[in-house]
């Protein structure tokens, strides 16, 4: 039975993806800070492993990943999903401490989790595995007032490319899924109106988050000699192509 660790598994994309993998017969490690939320994600699935952890704490991450591998025997996939966002604002109106916190979660948290997964995949026998990073359409085209978040997602693209190269000798594949307007708690505001590049407010199309979960499952299920390097899955009519 294949195994996957999913960070940020307590809500949103992480929860939907975890349930998709559990339904499809995977062993799933649910990583997140809120224990109650992780249990809600797991429901009655016996193959769910509850792993409370803050991804910005490298010692906690190492211990958490060690625990999962000790139970499963190996780690096949990491879905590096945990992240945070800030409300839209121009850069001089942002609190530097809020920016630092976002970058700590979105960049360092992703890096720490990838580092731990890479180490296990490199040492296990047979060697290899797959890391899937959650990017964003903001990694290519920013929204208004999104400088910290956009910077963090550009960093994820750099991490994806570097891990793809560094993982080759060890059979470790790395890909990235860039998501646009999946309907989660975070995206609910888009159904009421969000700022546009021209200063107006507009309701934006959204898509079912299950489309994201299904896409991650596809990426994870490929043999290691095939890789989805970058995938964009988005609401068809959202302002991405032509944004700005």
- Find the mean pLDDT for residues 177-193: 87
Q: In the predicted model, is pLDDT for residue 243 greater than 80?
A: no
Q: What is the pLDDT of residue 210?
A: 97
Which of the following is catalytic: 149, 152, 182, 213?
Answer: 149
Find out whether 80 and 114 touch, Cβ atoms under 8 Å. Answer: yes
Q: What is the pLDDT of residue 204?
A: 86
> CA 98, CA 104: separation in Å to the nearest integer?
10
Q: In the predicted model, is pLDDT for residue 239 greater than 90?
A: no
User: Among residues 88, 130, 138, 80, which one has the least CA distance to residue 105?
Assistant: 80
Quote the percentage of the chain above a pLDDT of 70.
99
Give strand pairing partners of 167: none
Quote the percentage of the chain above a pLDDT of 90.
82
Q: In the predicted model, is pLDDT for residue 186 greater than 80?
A: no
Q: What is the pLDDT of residues 106-144, one digit of tens each?
A: 999 999 999 999 999 999 999 999 999 999 998 888 888
CB atoms within 10 A of CB 91: 10
Q: What is the pLDDT of residues 10-63, one digit of tens each?
A: 999 999 999 999 999 999 999 999 999 999 999 999 999 999 999 999 999 999
Q: What is the pLDDT of residue 143?
A: 87
- Find the mean pLDDT for residues 78-99: 92
The question of whether 170 is a catalytic residue gets the answer no
Q: What is the pLDDT of residues 215-229, one digit of tens each?
A: 999 999 999 999 999
Q: What is the pLDDT of residue 77?
A: 98
> CA 43, CA 21: separation in Å to the nearest integer?
13
- Find the mean pLDDT for residues 154-173: 98
Q: In the predicted model, is pLDDT for residue 244 greater than 60?
A: no
Is the dihedral angle over the CA atoms 56, 60, 65, 71 positive or is it negative?
Answer: negative
Which pTM value belongs to this model? 0.95
Q: What is the pLDDT of residue 14?
A: 98
Q: What is the pLDDT of residue 4?
A: 98
Q: What is the pLDDT of residue 61?
A: 98
**Helix/strand/coil percent split, the chain, to 5:** 45, 20, 35
Cα distances (angstroms) measured from residue 225 to each of 14, 129, 230 = 26, 11, 16
Find out whether 20 and 208 touch, Cβ atoms under 8 Å. Answer: no
Q: In the predicted model, is pLDDT for residue 174 greater than 90?
A: yes
């Amino acid at each position: 039975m294949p195994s996957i660790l999913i960070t940020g598994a307590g809500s949103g994309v992480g929860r939907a993806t975890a349930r998709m993998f559990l339904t499809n017969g995977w062993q799933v490690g649910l990583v997140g800070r809120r224990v109650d939320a992780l249990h809600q994600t797991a429901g009655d699935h016996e193959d769910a492993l509850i792993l409370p952890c803050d991804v910005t704490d490298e010692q906690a991450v190492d211990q958490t990943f060690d625990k999962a591998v000790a139970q499963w025997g190996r780690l096949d996939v990491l879905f590096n999903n945990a992240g945070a966002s800030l409300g839209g604002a121009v850069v001089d109106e942002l609190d530097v401490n809020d920016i630092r916190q976002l970058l700590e979660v979105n960049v360092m948290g992703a890096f720490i989790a990838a580092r731990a997964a890479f180490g296990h995949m490199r040492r296990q026998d047979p060697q290899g595995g797959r890391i899937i990073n959650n990017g964003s359409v903001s990694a290519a085209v920013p929204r208004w007032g999104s400088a910290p978040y956009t910077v963090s997602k550009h960093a994820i693209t750099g991490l994806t490319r570097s891990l793809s190269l560094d993982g080759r000798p060890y059979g470790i594949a790395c890909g990235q899924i860039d998501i646009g307007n999946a309907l989660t708690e975070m995206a609910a505001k888009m159904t009421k109106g969000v700022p546009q590049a021209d200063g107006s407010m507009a309701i934006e199309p959204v898509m079912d988050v299950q489309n994201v979960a299904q896409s991650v499952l596809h990426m994870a299920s490929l043999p290691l000699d095939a890789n989805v390097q970058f995938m964009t899955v988005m609401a068809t009519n959202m302002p991405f192509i032509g944004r700005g």
